Structure 1
């Protein structure tokens, strides 16, 4: 083992002990708890070198050492193993999410599950309309001049409206309109539907132009102009478990987590479900969250990304366990969406 590898082992031991004990770690504790294969004197020398390089620091005189943001970053970047979920935890994930009845239920179950598994604050973004495609447009005739327009995206999001038509419609009229709309829009990204929807009234039979104009207006409003992003949050009470990790008050963190724009920024610009984003301490440039760590990833059906999910907790976080939980849950949510 080279000196650099040995120092990494010492740093890894310090991080693991500090996460589990909440106490600064000394050389004697490392000798007693870990098989590092060197003397206490050598470990002290390595700790001094790690401190000089900014990976650990001494919180007060005569204390052991604790990791810095730089130390946590090196630990995370050099993780060789991720702590897998237990068989019981995996079964719980499957059972809990399999019982979801619709997309909203999937999201709310996911955020609660992540908070329970990690004992951190969990954040889940609802599937973004801007990342979704049209799966199907259904037109259901309620009466001669009233229809229900149902729009379903590939992420399982459903929007429906009951509309009064400017003229009476036959069953054949409804079928023709539904076929024309689906021929134009199915499989198209919502962000690309606007010109297609706008053109629909001019592309249908003249006797249906007034009806199609009403339908096109509602589809533009619902599918294109509604750009809001929704976020689900759970586990804020878990912050009190770690109050010792946050200097001063929890108020700045709680205030930051109340802002939806902050939560969206926390999840980052996620463009791949295989990419994990880990922001540690001062790496998070959001006011109030410099003392936290964020572990997040994307999710979506069949390799596409329609939203993000993750957790927020103290820098003194069980990174291997948290990473495993975030990855596992994201993978299973993606699978559910692919089957919906």
Structure 2
């Protein structure tokens, strides 16, 4: 935990670096802060931040830049900015006038967030958790594999492959399909994963294995049916000077399952992930801010923004939270 003065030095360092993209000198920190101390005191504080791993000096004659740990300390003690009235009115106006089917609305929302924040934006769809099971089909794929097809009452389809311990016989699959269909039909998908205790006790071992594997896969089908909408990728070249970083981030966005995994595994509330906190194959200059949106009082998906670690966290947090509230109101109306 930093003392009050060092925390202020770090705050100014981060915000000046976010603004300029250039290493920040002790003189600049002294001029931009409200600290009534000498330049030597600022230099000593910067040296202390170096030792704490919160800042680094790229070159001997250069100023400092924050590390990923420095950004983490900064955001953990951050109070988000209040958006300008014009920005709030633009967001409210968008949702009060737009009338589109869900997929197009979420795609438009990702483009709105990207345009306002000036960072690439991601919106995930609500999945099937709030829908009921209409039908279940099991298709033997040969060997130990069975394809489970789940259809919701909204007409959406989830598909998962069950990998079983024993070789699969057609008669076993047919009976397992009958049992699963009876257990799952009309059930809310979000509550179906707790049905293992209701599997009939008189089933053969082979049939029980298929039925229980199908129940376990219901939760995966909820997420598998989620769509991912990305907006603002054309802005990426302006955000990162290193083109290899642009290519790595684009590669991540093309791996829909990875993006969905990051978004769906985030804890409730607004989450900020910085640098190595993101599950990338290698270290990359990347941060993500995401927050959930609700439908009927239940978290349905997430709105996220990607950017370099020197992104404007305060404003971006306020943007995703304002859009989340307005999207929830639009979907709930």
Q: TM-score, normalised by structure 2?
A: 0.72
Looking at structure 1, the residues matched to 156 and 274 of structure 2 have their Cα atoms a distance apart, in angstroms, of 38
Does the CA contact (< 8 Å) of 1:13 and 1:30 recur in 2? yes
| TM superposition shift of 1:307 | 1.1
Q: Highest CA radius of gyration, 1 or 2?
A: 1
1:116 counterpart residue number: 115
Tell me whether 1:251 sits opposite 2:247 in the alignment. yes
Query: 3-state SS of the aligned residue for 1:43?
Result: helix
Does the CA contact (< 8 Å) of 1:15 and 1:72 recur in 2? yes
| TM superposition shift of 1:248 | 4.2
1:239 counterpart residue number: 236
* Cα 1:85/1:288, change in 2 over 3 Å: farther
| TM superposition shift of 1:97 | 2.1
Looking at structure 2, the residues matched to 312 and 82 of structure 1 have their Cα atoms a distance apart, in angstroms, of 17
Query: 3-state SS of the aligned residue for 1:250?
Result: helix
Does the CA contact (< 8 Å) of 2:287 and 2:307 recur in 1? yes
Please, which runs of 5 or more residues in structure 2 have no aligned partner?
Answer: 135-151, 158-184, 196-220
* Cα 1:6/1:116, change in 2 over 3 Å: same
| TM superposition shift of 1:195 | 12
Looking at structure 1, the residues matched to 108 and 65 of structure 2 have their Cα atoms a distance apart, in angstroms, of 36
* Cα 1:194/1:250, change in 2 over 3 Å: closer
Give 1:34-49 correspondences, 5 Å limit.
Answer: 34-49=33-48
Query: 3-state SS of the aligned residue for 2:70?
Result: helix
Please, which runs of 5 or more residues in structure 1 have no aligned partner?
Answer: 137-149, 153-157, 161-183, 197-223
Looking at structure 1, the residues matched to 100 and 252 of structure 2 have their Cα atoms a distance apart, in angstroms, of 31
* Cα 1:242/1:330, change in 2 over 3 Å: same
* Cα 1:16/1:225, change in 2 over 3 Å: closer
Query: 3-state SS of the aligned residue for 2:240?
Result: helix
Does the CA contact (< 8 Å) of 1:27 and 1:40 recur in 2? yes
Looking at structure 2, the residues matched to 279 and 191 of structure 1 have their Cα atoms a distance apart, in angstroms, of 27
Does the CA contact (< 8 Å) of 1:252 and 1:289 recur in 2? no
Instruction: Tell me the alpha carbon deviations over residues 59-114 of structure 1, each in whole angstroms, 9 at most, x when there is no partner.
Output: 112000000000000000011x2112111111111111221322123201210111
| TM superposition shift of 1:289 | 6.5
Provide the alpha-carbon RMSD of the alignment.
3.0
Tell me whether 1:328 sits opposite 2:327 in the alignment. no
Instruction: Tell me the alpha carbon deviations over residues 23-43 of structure 1, each in whole angstroms, 9 at most, x when there is no partner.
Output: 100111112222222111111
1:132 counterpart residue number: 130
Does the CA contact (< 8 Å) of 1:256 and 1:287 recur in 2? no
Instruction: Tell me the alpha carbon deviations over residues 200-256 of structure 1, each in whole angstroms, 9 at most, x when there is no partner.
Output: xxxxxxxxxxxxxxxxxxxxxxxx799422110111111111122x47442122111
Q: TM-score, normalised by structure 1?
A: 0.71
Give 1:1-340 correspondences, 5 Å limit.
Answer: 4-79=3-78, 81-98=79-96, 99-129=98-128, 131-133=129-131, 151-152=153-154, 185=186, 189-192=188-191, 227-244=224-241, 246=242, 248-270=244-266, 272=268, 275-287=269-281, 290-339=284-333
* Cα 1:66/1:232, change in 2 over 3 Å: same
Looking at structure 1, the residues matched to 2 and 271 of structure 2 have their Cα atoms a distance apart, in angstroms, of 29
* Cα 1:240/1:225, change in 2 over 3 Å: closer
Alignment length (residue pairs): 265
| TM superposition shift of 1:303 | 2.6
Instruction: Tell me the alpha carbon deviations over residues 173-223 of structure 1, each in whole angstroms, 9 at most, x when there is no partner.
Output: xxxxxxxxxxx95xx523447999xxxxxxxxxxxxxxxxxxxxxxxxxxx
